[in-house]
Structure 1
């Protein structure tokens, strides 16, 4: 099959922007880049492989989980995998999620100085498989990505089942801040106010967040797209279990669904050794499974100016779309 031309412009951020972000993202030599009409921010390594990822073969029995980082990806992955695999709790317990799902773009985020991506979890890696060997994996494949729909294979939605989870960007900003420290993208001393400045300017990995979510939101009625909110999973996890079961063609008893909901309870997942990594200090927020709360952003946007900026940020973007996040 002929390779499709990657249709989007890839350009370097401005010299001023590059100088600014390199004060935070350490270990990168080449300029950071923006991709496509929304200017999605990434490391230069993604530009090297953007066309390969865009041209990945999609199989009809693939299961793809998409999300902007720190939006509930892991939560949704565990739910989807268990429902698809007949509630195989032993299989889930014995095989890390980083093996069960291929995180396709992860190698493209590698540091150019340290020659490797930031560490992740007790296994020392955020994924076992990626875009480079995806074609060798047996079906059905489970695939995770933080890339927006537009940068993924154009046949994806018409071919495979796609699950997308979205979360209030203010809560994402807080969780993303701690993730940058957890995975050592940023030094631990970086303050949230500094991170928020970069967030507003779309100078963080995967940003901007609103176009990322809106691309999936606009496809929410496509028969292969299942769009859920993080807040929806918090308020009505059983309802989401029912929705995903139906999409996957699976039927389970109420008792089985109740057991799954208990397994997926945030505090239960947080206690699991599979997800329990980060700082041992119980008061530290530099953890993979941090708080799992909605609306907790108010504790970090804790000055009148920050609250006003958060409100203005949301209003500015929500005015352009029908997308609305559920109340926390």
Structure 2
């Protein structure tokens, strides 16, 4: 959650493109990120419980690499808090009609990337012709991002594997599928997240239930 001071500054002075995603897919993606990039050692079910409860700090405290960084720099700053999910999303959803806020769903990007690019360029006050949009669509495609060393963390991962800081195999950019959670969550876990989502008014507005 943003601090009140930073929130006022952010929403008053900057152009913001905010992307949200189905919380069940977000949970799965965040778990793999923490496990592969930050050394999270806990079980998936426990991670999901922490995600539902919005306990980002507890997730952080189970990330081996994050704790090593804090120990190395002797930081007095509290661990980062990446939750609660709905608190974060709601801050932007309620401001989606502000002229400097562009609210976007990941599912829409997957459904029609060229259309989303056109909307974003309009929001940014730019103009691209059809050829430029095609080039940008190809550049921003999932397959292109997966092999793009500027964003795929390959060098970071190789470095940490060489120093045996992470032991898990995989890629930073994994699958990117819509509803990919169905292949990773048990029916019981899906029901638990569905019940949690039923309690969130913004979930229905966003089309997630």
Note whether the superposition's TM-score is higher than 0.5.
yes
Q: How far 1:322 moved relative to its partner?
A: 5.7
Change over 3 Å in CA distance of 1:309–1:326 after alignment to 2: closer
Residues of 1 paired with 2:169 and 2:176: CA distance?
11
Q: CA deviation at 1:324?
A: 1.4
Mapped partners of 2:169, 2:95: distance in 1: 34
2:52 & 2:147 partners in 1: Cα distance? 33
Partner residue of 2:180 out of 278, 281, 296:
296
Does structure 2 conserve the Cα–Cα contact (< 8 Å) formed by 1:232 and 1:326?
Answer: no
Residue 262 of structure 1 deviates from its aligned partner by 0.6
The 1:285–1:297 alpha-carbon spacing in structure 2 relative to 1, beyond 3 Å, is farther
Q: Which residue of the partner structure matches residue 323 of structure 1?
A: 205
Map of 1:137-286 to 2, 5 A cutoff?
148=2, 150=4, 152-187=6-41, 190-204=42-56, 205-276=81-152, 277=154, 278=157, 286=170
TM-score (norm 1): 0.49
SS at match of 1:232: helix
CA pair 150-258 structure 1, distance change in 2 beyond 3 A: farther
- Counterpart contact for 1:173–1:196, Cα < 8 Å: yes
Cα distance between partner residues in 2 of 1:322 and 1:200: 17
**Which runs of 5 or more residues in structure 2 are unaligned?**
57-80, 162-167
- Which one scores higher on RCO, CA 8 angstroms, separation ≥ 6? 2
Question: Higher helix proportion, which one?
Answer: 2
Deviation of the 1:185 alpha carbon: 4.4
Three-state SS of the structure 2 residue aligned to 1:226 is strand
- 1:166–1:213 CA contact under 8 A, matched in 2: yes
Distance 1:155 1:197, change over 3 A: closer
Secondary structure (helix, strand or coil) at the match of 2:102 reads strand
Q: How far does the alpha carbon of each residue in 1:96-155 deviate from its partner, in whole angstroms, 9 at most, with x for none?
A: xxxxxxxxxxxxxxxxxxxxxxxxxxxxxxxxxxxxxxxxxxxxxxxxxxxx47462413
Contact map agreement 2:51 2:85 (CA 8 A) in 1: no
Q: Which residue of 2 aligns with 1:68?
A: none
State the Cα distance separating 1:326 from its structure 2 match: 6.3
CA displacement at 1:313 relative to structure 2:
1.3
The Cα offsets for residues 43-78 of structure 1, whole Å up to 9 and x where unpaired, read as xxxxxxxxxxxxxxxxxxxxxxxxxxxxxxxxxxxx
Aligned equivalents of 1:285, 1:247: Cα separation in 2: 39
* Structure-2-length-normalised TM-score: 0.75
Number of residues of Structure 1 aligned to a counterpart in Structure 2? 174
